[in-house]
Amino acid sequence: MDQDPSYQELYDTSIHKPQEFWADAAQAISWSKPWDKVLDDSNIPFYRWFTGATLNTCYNAVDRHVEQGYGEQTAIIYDSPVTDSKQKISFSELLHQVSKMAGALASCGVTKGDRVVIYMPMIPQTLVGMLACARLGAIHSVVFGGFAANELATRIDDAKPKVVLSASCGIEPNRTVAYKPLLDDAIDIASHKPSHTIIFQREQLVAQMTDGRDFDWQQVSDSSEYHPCVEVLATDPLYILYTSGTTGQPKGVVRDNGGHAVALAWTMKHIYNVKPGEVFWAASDVGWVVGHSYICYGPLINRSTTVLFEGKPIGTPDAGIFWRVIEEYQVKSLFTAPTAFRAIRAADPEGKLIDKYDLSCLNALYLAGERCDPATLIWAQDKLKVPVVDHWWQTETGWSIAANLLGSCPAPIKAGSPSRPVPGYNVEVVDASGAKVAAGESGMIVIKLPLPPGTLPTLWQNNGRYYDAYLSQVEGYYLTGDAGYIDQDNYLWIMNRIDDVINVAGHRLSTGRLEEALSNHPSVAEVAVIGVHDELKGELPLGLVVLTSDCDLSHVDIEKALIKQVREDVGPVAAFKLIAVVDRLPKTRSGKILRATMKNIANSSEYTVPATIEDASVLESIEQSLQQMGYAQ
């Protein structure tokens, strides 16, 4: 493939002259005070961007657009097929709601640096809550609604919020999820007790309130004064977002204010190719990083219109919903997870529903969150007749590490690869000793420090864990946790995780956390959870369970009990439904469970029996159990 001079120049400047590159990108942001240093390398490996500068992220996302005369432009389009409602919110109206909510939070004692946990469904108030925190310089931590009370409690204990924002319920296609009782349980379980909660009452289900602690969203917002934007340092945290690691304790990824705003504004132009005033739709959830970056902050900072969609790609009401939304609101770029397209394709393989709509407004489809199988990408490209950009990123980075820069230097698409490294990311592939491998050879994917602006500066109040988990393996590099290779054309191929993290429908889950939940059952003696291939969701968790000798439940009953236990302990999002009751688990002589080997067996991938195995016959019986479940064929 030919060298691409425009890409190469952009990329080389970002790597060799990062200060110049990012100072230029920072012109898109309104600062209260300029920076002392673009890149502060005084405390390596903890690099910081735009030190000394001050700004307010909410001002950049909302106020400045109104000041510049765009108050009447639509900021948020809320489309909710599950409640049969639609709403358009202008930047002026958003400013009004956010200023009032900031006032309400302030009246609850929230000030700069305080944490606010947000446990809410996909409704406009959730974005209002996030922006109100940003306005005050408070640090929000959004927890995905599909997590159970225990998971919420863990995050409350780590973030120690003064206030929790929530809603009475979320609406799933098959049920109404009562959030408030889950929140009440979480507060009971947590050692840290927030002083107040502010609850948005939805008409579908009205929550019971606790006097003195719980406030009604509408009432406190109506009775509060407008609160102005509070100036914060570029390096002050904007939010914490918890993500799954290898242990049961989630990692609190910290995002700063300055670098984040700069990076997202840059991506809206160079990657997503969306201009101010145009409509951008990330069909994800605000509980995930995609929702933070591209439902809330990215489009709004760019003065684009964001679509907030409360529904599913299929079943609300059918696999044509995405096309209806695109046509109705003239969406220019759509971003979602491959799993959503796999679901649509399975429901409407010939794309008949696509033909019912005029999608000429759509310029491109962006997919991320999990590996995109080439068949899905090619199907989407054929049916939609637009470029389909697979791009690779993580909660930790907040924006993509590898992508096709459609907005500035588009490259040929290779299905199965998220394309080339994005400017700012010096990506390398190394072997177990940390040595760089040749093009085409697989290894661990690492990024040379410093990471670009907007990526995690640390984990919440845990520099030690940040260093241990990401920076300690290969000196001077960030460990992505993904393995793969870079081909001769500089395209990346992301193959698998090197840790015990699995990816279920674009949602990242820790097998360690699921094992912890299963072990809590009194009849479970030993357990291992592995990720097995699934046509729709990419991966599904499968638990291999050894029961205690005194367990007198039938296999059917124990399976039901364990599925219920994980759902109640971790949440429905784990989609935990597969269990194999086995006599023993395969282990090395030192007692380490051979999870990777079992995963390969289940997925019918090649595997070698480790020389250190304690008893090789155990693998045979595991294989038989997996075959009975339709795996290991």
Binding positions for ligand COA, rule: CB under 6 A:
145-146, 170, 172, 174, 177, 284-285, 288, 290, 312-314, 336-337, 339-340, 343, 369, 505-506, 536, 572-573, 575
CA 191, 197, 199: angle at the middle one, nearest 5?
140
Judged by beta carbon, residue 139 or residue 456, the one nearer ligand AMP is: 456
Q: Which does 508 bind (CB under 5 to 8 A by kind): ligand AMP, ligand COA, none?
A: ligand AMP
Shortest Cβ 172–ligand AMP spacing (Å): 20
One of 79, 114, 256, 370 touching ligand AMP (CB under 6 A): 370
115 in contact with ligand AMP (CB under 6 A): no
Shortest Cβ 314–ligand COA spacing (Å): 6
Map the footprint of ligand AMP across residues 372-431, applying CB under 6 A. 372, 390-395, 418
Only one of the segments 45-53, 131-139, 364-372, 575-583 lies at the binding site for ligand AMP (rule: CB under 6 A); that segment is 364-372
Residues across the chain: 633
Judged by beta carbon, residue 124 or residue 407, the one nearer ligand AMP is: 407
Structure-token match 């993509």, residue found: 400
Shortest Cβ 379–ligand AMP spacing (Å): 16
One of 503, 510, 511, 597 touching ligand AMP (CB under 6 A): 503
Say if CB 354 and CB 320 are below 8 A apart: yes
Structure-token match 């005029």, residue found: 358
341 in contact with ligand AMP (CB under 6 A): no
Those residues whose C-beta lies under 8 Å from the C-beta of residue 110, and which sit 6 or more positions away, are 116, 133, 136, 138, 162, 163
d(CA 319, CA 218): 35
Which pairs from 425-430 meet CB under 8 Å and 24+ separation?
Answer: 425/397, 425/401, 425/451, 425/452, 426/15, 427/401, 427/402, 427/486, 427/492, 428/477, 428/486, 429/484, 429/485, 429/486, 430/474, 430/477
Q: Which does 172 bind (CB under 5 to 8 A by kind): ligand AMP, ligand COA, none?
A: ligand COA
Q: Which does 340 bind (CB under 5 to 8 A by kind): ligand COA, ligand AMP, none?
A: ligand COA
Judged by beta carbon, residue 394 or residue 597, the one nearer ligand COA is: 394
Query: How far, in Å, are 285, 505, 566, 572 from residue 171 at the CA level?
Result: 13, 19, 21, 13
One of 312, 371, 383, 513 touching ligand AMP (CB under 6 A): 371
- The helix-helix angle for 595-602 and 617-628 (nearest 10°) equals 40
How many H helices and E strands in the chain?
Answer: 20, 29
Phi-psi region of 315 (alpha: psi -120 to 50; beta: other; left: phi over 0): left
Q: Which does 236 bind (CB under 5 to 8 A by kind): ligand AMP, ligand COA, none?
A: none
Judged by beta carbon, residue 62 or residue 575, the one nearer ligand COA is: 575
Say if CB 193 and CB 162 are below 8 A apart: no
d(CA 589, CA 620): 17
Strands 196-200 and 163-167: parallel
Shortest Cβ 416–ligand AMP spacing (Å): 9
Judged by beta carbon, residue 391 or residue 420, the one nearer ligand AMP is: 391
446 in contact with ligand AMP (CB under 6 A): no
Shortest Cβ 100–ligand AMP spacing (Å): 32
Residues that bind ligand AMP (CB under 6 A): 243, 289, 368-372, 390-395, 418, 481-482, 494, 497, 503, 508
